Amino acid sequence: MALIVQKYGGTSLGTLDHIKNVARRVVAARDGGDEVVIVVSAMSGETSRLLTLLHRFLTHRMSGSVMFCWLLGSRYRRLF
């Protein structure tokens, strides 16, 4: 048994199909008897979206709740 560290981000998490593929890889490593640690960074395009959101927040003085709803609505709703 080994300790396996897998890091995913960017385009590997860019679509629901890609996320499912990552999940299959994680499960396969675990089912092979290894201990698995997963490190997840930003999904494809997410860093740019967050910078845009920050700019809008600072420019228009959006409330934190409006900013959060915009972020969820702009990306995650279409994945699930």
Please give the Cα distance from 74 to 80 (Å, whole number): 12
> What are the sequence ranges of the domains in the chain?
1-44, 45-80
Q: Is the pLDDT of residue 75 over 90?
A: no
Quick: pLDDT tens for 21-53.
Answer: 999 999 999 999 999 988 888 767 777 877 777
pTM: 0.54
The residue type of 55 is H
Mean pLDDT of 64-78: 59
Residue 27 pLDDT:
93
Is residue 7 helix, strand or coil? strand
Mean pLDDT of 6-28: 88
